[in-house]
């Protein structure tokens, strides 16, 4: 990073701004089992993880600490900007370890200590099992290529099966408990006509497998899943999905018309697990639960169950088994200040609900969607200010044309904002037809043309994507933004026109596409994020 003159830095500090700085932490050396490019890496228990640390500005020293590890913190000095420092960690026990790196800037560069974090997942090695390869014209492709059990279950795997039209493929899906050679459940799904696109696979998997009560009761105790695809003489293909390692997790089973829940702790740590429950009516008000009373399974009250030990947490939604339309609750949230801290606090609540696991019961998806839409509306009431939440109340059941007009009227604060609002309102159909990356590029262009945003420490296109992610899928924002989360929120709180434009666009596209998509219930349709 190029250092700006001292006089410039002083003037920026006087008006409340500072030059952007960052530190990066990533795996190096022996390739990690997995790395998500967002601070989450996985290694085997037989390996010693190696990491690289790099700052883009002048740094006096790095301080490295490992949560839950008794060794003293490590201090590293004599750091040059842009030059990575390599560090090999000791052998770590199975579990999740939070690695923190703080960088202390030099006196000349000024500023506060910056923090970089890396989630170090340690697990036991898994035995290798061969898989049949596709033959002839029968081809199977997946994204991601090595999905987890959770990704398959939640419909977050794009499976495409190609073959001659008029032919069929017969799927067989089996669930296995840990170290079991015999499946706990095995189902022959009805044959699918070739070719099969990802949407058709999700619908078929939901109807023929995930939606079956017996499967739902077996899923939580399952460790892996094998999917076999048989296209007769065209060929066969099989793949395995294993459960992502989590030291603590909930299991839920349906017995005699009642859900029962249990907390499973696979870690070797003695630190107690804090357990709470949140209702669908008050999604951010915790009710303490004695974790000792969760062994073995116990009847569960509906809501979202949350377990946390240190930095690791796991959330599970327990839906009602029956619900009439008039029984869907109207969630009520606590009051959050219009500040960076207030927004981050609400984002943390949203992240827990958005990442909570749900059994196959469709009511869980309906009620979570209800909570997340209300919470996102509250979030933008804080970010966008100026009565925006009241305007969104006209779109609570879906952004109809009159509702969009009310939102459009909220984009008339000044000439540039009014011009941007007019373009978005008049070109809703055009934006709906675009893919998500195209919308980011186009909204960035418009925001720059109408001087909604200007070039600065945060890249304009990154800032627009940040606003759109908050408006459509805020439960993933903290992991995506990383160390730039606070800076991004501060900008949105200041540039409310961008926040309002992003939220308008998300609601407008959702109204055109419809949130009840064929492959399941989405919170906001038409927005696909990697």
pLDDT of residue 135: 43
H or E element, residue 510: helix 496-513
pLDDT of amino acid 335:
94
* Residue 407 phi, psi (nearest 5): -65, -40
Alpha helices in 40-140 (DSSP H): none
pLDDT at 245: 75
What are the two backbone dihedrals, phi and then psi, of residue 40, each rounded to the nearest 5 degrees?
A: -130, 110
For 479, residues 6+ apart whose C-beta sits below 8 A from its C-beta are 38, 39, 40
What does each of the 530 residues of the chain score in pLDDT, given as a tens digit? 455 565 666 665 555 555 566 677 778 776 676 776 667 788 877 788 888 887 777 777 778 888 756 555 677 766 677 778 888 888 888 878 888 887 776 655 555 455 677 788 887 765 544 444 444 578 999 888 889 998 898 888 889 999 888 899 999 999 999 889 999 999 999 999 999 998 899 999 989 998 888 898 888 788 899 999 999 888 899 999 998 877 788 888 777 778 888 888 776 667 788 999 999 999 999 999 886 655 556 788 899 999 998 878 899 999 988 876 567 888 999 999 999 999 999 999 999 999 998 876 778 888 999 999 999 999 999 999 888 998 888 776 555 667 788 889 988 888 999 999 999 999 999 999 999 999 999 999 999 999 999 877 889 999 999 999 999 999 999 999 999 999 999 999 999 999 999 999 999 999 888 744 444 568 998 998 87
Supply the DSSP symbol for 360: S
Residue 516: predicted pLDDT: 45
Q: Which two tokens stand for residue 158?
A: 């794009």
Name the nearest CA neighbour of 70 among 43, 50, 97.
97
For residue 524, the SS3 value is coil
Q: What is the pLDDT of residue 128?
A: 43
Q: Report yes or no: 124 and 44 within 8 Å, Cβ to Cβ.
A: yes
Phi-psi region of 299 (alpha: psi -120 to 50; beta: other; left: phi over 0): beta
153 sits in which H/E element:
helix 149-153
pTM over 0.75: no
Strands (E), 220-338: 224-230, 236-242, 248-255, 258-265, 274-278, 287-289, 298-299, 303-309, 312-318
């Amino acid at each position: 990073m190029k250092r700006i003159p001292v006089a410039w830095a002083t003037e920026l500090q006087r008006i409340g701004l500072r030059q952007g700085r960052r530190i990066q932490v990533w795996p190096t050396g022996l390739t990690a089992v997995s790395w998500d490019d967002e601070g989450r890496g996985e290694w085997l228990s037989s390996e010693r993880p190696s990491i690289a640390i790099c700052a883009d500005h002048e740094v006096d020293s790095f301080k490295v600490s490992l949560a839950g590890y008794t060794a003293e913190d490590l201090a590293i000095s004599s750091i040059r900007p842009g030059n990575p420092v390599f560090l090999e960690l000791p052998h770590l026990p199975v579990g999740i370890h939070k690695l923190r790196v703080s960088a202390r800037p030099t006196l000349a560069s000024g500023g506060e200590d910056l923090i970089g974090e890396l989630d170090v997942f340690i697990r036991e090695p898994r035995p290798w099992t061969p898989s049949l390869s596709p033959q002839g014209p029968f081809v199977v492709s997946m994204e991601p290529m090595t999905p987890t059990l959770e990704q398959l279950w939640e419909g977050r795997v794009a499976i495409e099966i190609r073959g001659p039209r008029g032919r069929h493929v017969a799927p067989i899906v089996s669930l296995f408990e840990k170290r079991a050679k015999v499946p706990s459940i095995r189902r022959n799904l009805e044959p699918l006509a070739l070719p099969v696109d990802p949407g058709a696979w999700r619908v078929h998997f939901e109807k023929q497998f995930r939606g079956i009560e017996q499967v739902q009761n077996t899923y939580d105790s399952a460790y892996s899943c094998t999917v076999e695809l048989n296209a007769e003489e065209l060929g066969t293909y099989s793949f395995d999905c294993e459960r992502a390692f989590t030291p603590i997790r909930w299991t839920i089973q349906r017995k005699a018309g009642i859900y029962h829940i249990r907390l499973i702790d696979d870690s070797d740590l003695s630190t107690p697990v804090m357990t709470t429950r949140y209702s669908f009516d008050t999604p951010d008000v915790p009710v303490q639960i004695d974790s000792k009373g969760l062994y073995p399974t116990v009847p569960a009250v509906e809501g979202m169950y949350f377990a946390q030990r240190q930095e690791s947490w796991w959330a599970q939604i327990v839906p009602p088994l029956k619900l009439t339309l008039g029984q869907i609750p109207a969630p009520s949230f606590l009051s959050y200040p219009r500040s960076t801290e207030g927004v981050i606090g609400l984002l943390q609540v949203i992240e827990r609900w958005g990442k909570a696991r749900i059994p196959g019961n469709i009511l869980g998806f309906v009620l979570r969607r209800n909570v997340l839409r209300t919470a996102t509306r509250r979030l933008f009431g804080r970010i966008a200010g100026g009565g925006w939440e009241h305007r969104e109340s006209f779109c609570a059941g879906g952004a109809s044309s009159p509702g969009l007009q009310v939102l459009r009227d909220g984009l008339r604060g000044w000439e540039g904002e009014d011009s941007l609002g007019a373009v978005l309102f008049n070109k809703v159909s055009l934006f709906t037809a675009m893919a998500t990356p195209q919308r980011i590029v186009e909204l960035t262009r418009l925001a720059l043309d109408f001087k909604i945003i200007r070039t600065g420490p945060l890249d304009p296109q990154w800032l627009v994507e940040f606003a759109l992610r908050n408006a459509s899928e805020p439960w993933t924002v903290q992991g995506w933004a990383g160390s730039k989360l606070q800076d991004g929120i501060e900008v949105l709180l200041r540039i409310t026109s961008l926040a309002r434009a992003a939220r308008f666009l998300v609601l407008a596209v959702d109204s055109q596409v419809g949130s009840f998509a064929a492959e399941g219930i989405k919170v906001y349709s038409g927005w696909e994020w990697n």
